[in-house]
Amino acid sequence: MIELKDYQKRAVESLKSKVQNALRSPDREVVIFQSPTGSGKTIMVSEMLKQLVKDNKKKYSFVWVSVRMLHEQSKEKLEKYYEDDRLIQCSYFEDLEDKQIGENEILFINWHSINKKDINIYVRENEQDNNLNAIIQNTKEEGREIVLIIDESHHTASSDKSKELIETIGPKVTIEVSATPHLKDNVSEIEKVHLADVKAEEMIKSEISVNPEFLDIKIGDKSSDVLVIEQALKKREELEKLYKKENSNINPLILIQLPDSRANLISKKDEVIKILKDKFKITEENGKLAVWLSEEKTDNLANIEKPDNEVEVLVFKQAIALGWDCPRASILVIFRESKSFTFTIQTIGRIMRMPELRYYNEENLNKGFVFTNLPNIEITEDYAKDYVTIYEAKRDNSRYKNIALPSIYLKRQRERTRLSGEFAKIFMKVAEETNLKKKIVLEPSKVVSPIIADGKIVNIDKMGEIEHKGQIEVKLNEGELQQRFDRFIYDNCSPYAPGDSSDRMKTAIYQFFNVKFKLPKFDPRVQRIVLGKENVQALVDVINVSKDKYKKQVIEQLSEVRERTEEPKWEVPLIDSYKSNAKQEAHLKSIMKPFYTKKPSQPEKLFMELLDNSEKIEWWYKNGEGEKKYFAVLYKDENNKEWAFYVDFIVKFKDGQMGLFDTKGGMTAKDAGPRAEGLQKYIKKNKDKKLWGGIVIESNGSWRINDREKYEYNPNDLSSWKVLEI
């Protein structure tokens, strides 16, 4: 029996509830189940259907429609899942008895076989009256309601033929299952599994790195195809050694995707196979190469998914993307195409799975890698935007010498990473204490979205921003406003899991505006007020203080045993990876080149300027948080519980001293006591490292530092804070 992960259990329970709500409706309804590739969508839906059958007194029949040959894979998975209790029967068209779908029976259909324009063996009328129309009618006459599951719906659900089929089946409820759903009509419920929750369970890779370290490559006279294949093979060898170091038998696999253009397919295939053979001695004969094309399949494909299979490179075409599961695949090679190429979550899906459903000590084993000669990559789905790392900053080793600082890492318990109903009460109290009502402007500036104006495309193969003369600003409609508001909520949930916390935070905000301004819950005016530039910062401040208080009053009261890992000789990471929402900035004294950042706070911005302009500083590093690779010191709160403090900046001075500084501003300085005192204990304990530092704030044009063993902060009296002289 498969043991479901925590996020899967939550999703199953919530999805079941939403399907039951839809079944109670007098109308035909659509329920969307949006879940990332690699999250176990099929297993979650299987469990939901089983619980639905157990819980309900009504009689159900199910139709499961998948693309290409996925219906066979789905049927096989579900039969295995249901084999213990046999509550649900899985059948093909030819397995049905009495020309109907039985009670608690799933009919599995291949979408393409019933969705062709020329002939339809299932839907057409015939003398035996054994067609889909008749089977559906017979089933309904027996008093059973039909639930339709459309699997991988982004490939099918929005076509006209598909809509006709849905009308033919006439299900009481349609469940659309996809990472990127497309159904829009009659949608009553949406259940969404967030990517962060899947990664927290170590089911899929932590990130995808695109063309890592390409700036340092000596190209010479190599073709771009040779270059990307060469770098992919080097990475494969590196990963193979790392797996051995981890005592794992995984043999990492490279996937080489040929362009989908039929005209170029044969020549590109021959070219790639020639490069692999002549330059790298990788052939079908020595067992290292496999080919999977519609017109050609090598004999060594049978066990290619096995962890230690000898095949190192698989050449394929896009057709195998769906449903093919080979967790040892960790590197993807993509070649330039004549048409524009879009990089979607389906593309990434082939290299997303973790082979042993756990993260390794070696960080590169937790990543997927893409090597490509595309001029750039446009990512088309939101999940992919949150997932792919397209920028990398490297440590400048010409200036760096080892610093060997002791660091710690505390592994967090997942049940402590979500907001509960208590958050709304705390938010209201903080809003009252900070007089938020008086700070709110009820008629803020219009919330707008910039749109490109007078653009032209000179080179259709050149991706990126097209030439344009300027932009116009268009007021957001209610749908766009809702999306922007949802993103605001999602972004401000950190460090709590957005998937589990967004609704709690929304409730808090709507409740505030209802109590203080008599605005109805879910009123779009609330969203416009929140997003107005005059109000955003005030709300963010209250949210942040509320999260700090929530942490103290709720999270820290929970019992906890956390695993502590000590790193006696921490060094600035060799590489930091960033997603597409990061921006490059010029900072001459940053040890990471180039420097990327995602929405730094105002104190952080000002402090980086100070560091860059100092003659005393050799280099500085902007620390990350929450991961083992970043620097943290141990501190204890007032209840003597241990926490990790990720100090904002590590600074190397020219005189050999090391500075540890954490920037604060306004209300955040007030609650910094335990962290500040933990930092001072750390500095005192490691005197041999020539350390100094503390909490720093900017006040009236001067920077102040608190480096006392006992922390004090009074915004009206900073006499205990020294002027920071760097």
DSSP per residue over 165-224, as a string? Answer: HHHHH--SEEEEEESS----TTEEEEEE--HHHHHHTT-B-SEEEESTTGGG---TT--H
Smallest CA-to-CA distance from 111 within 153, 60, 174 is with: 153
CA of residue 643 relative to chain centroid, distance:
26
Cβ(159)–Cβ(134) below 8 Å: no
**Domains of the chain by residue range:** 6-200, 207-395, 415-557, 564-723
Q: Would you tell me the crossing angle of helices 422-433 and 498-517 to the nearest 10 degrees?
A: 50
Rounded Cα distance, 62 and 692, in Å: 67
pLDDT value, residue 338? 42
State the first-to-last Cα distance of the chain, in angstroms, to the nearest integer.
62
Cβ(214)–Cβ(376) below 8 Å: no
Q: Is the peptide bond before 524 cis (omega within 30 degrees of 0)?
A: no
Which residues, at least 6 apart from 267, have a Cβ–Cβ distance to it below 8 Å? none
pLDDT value, residue 320? 55
pLDDT value, residue 199? 86
What single letter denotes the amino acid at residue 406? Answer: P
The reply to whether 207-395 shares the fold of 6-200 is: yes
CATH 3.40.50.300 assigned to 6-200? yes
Tens of pLDDT, residues 627-670: 889 999 999 988 888 899 999 999 999 999 999 999 998 778 88
Task: Specify the long-range contacts of residues 446-455, CB closer than 8 Å, at least 24 apart.
Answer: 446/475, 447/475, 447/476, 447/481, 447/484, 447/528, 447/531, 447/532, 448/473, 448/474, 448/475, 448/476, 449/473, 449/474, 449/476, 449/480, 450/474
CA of residue 172 relative to chain centroid, distance:
33
Q: What is the CATH number of domain 207-395?
A: 3.40.50.300
Q: Which helix (H) or strand (E) holds 576?
A: strand 575-579
Rounded Cα distance, 645 and 647, in Å: 6
pLDDT value, residue 465? 36
pLDDT value, residue 343? 54
Rounded Cα distance, 109 and 122, in Å: 9
Q: Would you tell me the crossing angle of helices 478-492 and 498-517 to the nearest 10 degrees?
A: 110
Tens of pLDDT, residues 286-334: 999 999 887 788 888 888 989 999 999 999 876 554 456 789 999 998 8
Could you please state the CATH topology (level 3) that the domain comprising 564-723 is classified under: Trna Endonuclease; Chain: A, domain 1 (3.40.1350)
Q: For the chain, which ranges sit under pLDDT 50?
A: 116-127, 157-158, 262-266, 321-322, 338-340, 379-383, 450-472
Cβ-in-10-Å burial (0-12, 13-18, 19+) of 45 comes to: buried
pTM of the prediction?
A: 0.56
Which residues, at least 6 apart from 610, have a Cβ–Cβ distance to it below 8 Å? 703, 726
Cβ(424)–Cβ(511) below 8 Å: yes
CA of residue 571 relative to chain centroid, distance:
27
Q: Would you tell me the crossing angle of helices 478-492 and 536-553 to the nearest 10 degrees?
A: 40
Cβ-in-10-Å burial (0-12, 13-18, 19+) of 465 comes to: exposed
